[in-house]
Amino acid sequence: MTLGIPGSQTTAVILASLSLQGLQPGPQMMTEQPLLLYVIFFSMLIASVAAFVGG
């Protein structure tokens, strides 16, 4: 996903949603929008922990 090339269907959906929001996925996104990336990472972490606890 760092290079903007989807490796799976889930990644393709994430790339499409970022493009619809006007963001260009790729290496520049890490320097231009670091707060957004941290929010995405932590929300995925919270969702994973909730799925683990919830069974």
pLDDT tens-digit readout, 9-52: 988 888 888 889 888 888 888 888 899 889 989 999 999 999 99
Q: 1 or 43, which is more confident?
A: 43
Q: 3 or 37, which is more confident?
A: 37
Please give the full DSSP string across 17-41, using - where no structure is assigned.
Answer: HHHHTT---SHHHHHH-HHHHHHHH
pLDDT at 1: 52
Q: Give residue 53's pLDDT band: very low, low, confident or very high (50, 70, 90).
A: very high
Backbone torsion region of residue 6, taken as left when φ is above 0, otherwise alpha when ψ lies between -120 and 50, otherwise beta? beta
pLDDT at 3: 64
Of 10, 37, 11, nearest in space to 23 by CA: 37
Neighbours of 28 (CB within 10 A): 11
Q: Where are the domains of the chain?
A: 9-54
